[in-house]
């Protein structure tokens, strides 16, 4: 597999990556993408029984944070084959590594 093919494969996997999380009480469920972007939010109808908006917001933020951390770890594992040694950025690392290889080939 060429470097370009490997980078395309990694990009495709990262684009499809979704990581779920939920609040401890199960009333809030979220799904985020590889970069932690919120893709879905589900609220159990029972959340409306408690009128504490601040607590609900805290549960949502915590679930998104948990999912984003997990998604970041999964994204790094997916991108690891195309990252430069010591690089921990699965989003820009492959691009920088490919540019470095291209620059060396042109020199």
Residues 73-84: pLDDT tens digits? Answer: 999 899 888 877
Instruction: Quickly state the pLDDT bin for 90 (edges 50, 70, 90).
Output: low
The average confidence (pLDDT) of the chain is 86
Instruction: Kindly list the distances between the CA atom of residue 73 and the CA atoms of 39, 67, 90, in Å, as whole numbers in the listed order.
Output: 17, 10, 10
Q: Where are the domains of the chain?
A: 3-106
DSSP 3-state percent helix, strand, coil across the chain (nearest 5): 60, 15, 25
Superfamily covering domain 3-106:
Nucleoid-associated protein YbaB-like domain (3.30.1310.10)
If you average pLDDT over residues 6-26, what whole number do you get?
94
Burial 8-39 (b: 16+ CB within 10 A, else e): eebbeebeebebbbbbeeebbbbbbbbebeee
For residue 62, pLDDT over 90 is answered with yes
């Amino acid at each position: 597999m060429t470097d370009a093919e490997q980078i395309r494969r990694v990009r495709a996997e990262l684009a499809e990556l979704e990581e779920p999380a939920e609040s401890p009480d199960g009333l809030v469920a979220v799904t985020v993408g590889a970069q932690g972007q919120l893709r879905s939010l589900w609220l159990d109808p029972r959340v409306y029984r408690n009128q504490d908006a601040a607590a609900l917001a805290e549960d949502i933020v915590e679930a998104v944070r948990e999912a984003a951390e997990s998604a970041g770890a999964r994204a790094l594992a997916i991108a690891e084959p195309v990252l430069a040694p010591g690089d921990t950025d699965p989003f820009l690392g492959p691009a920088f590594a490919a540019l470095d290889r291209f620059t060396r080939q042109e020199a």
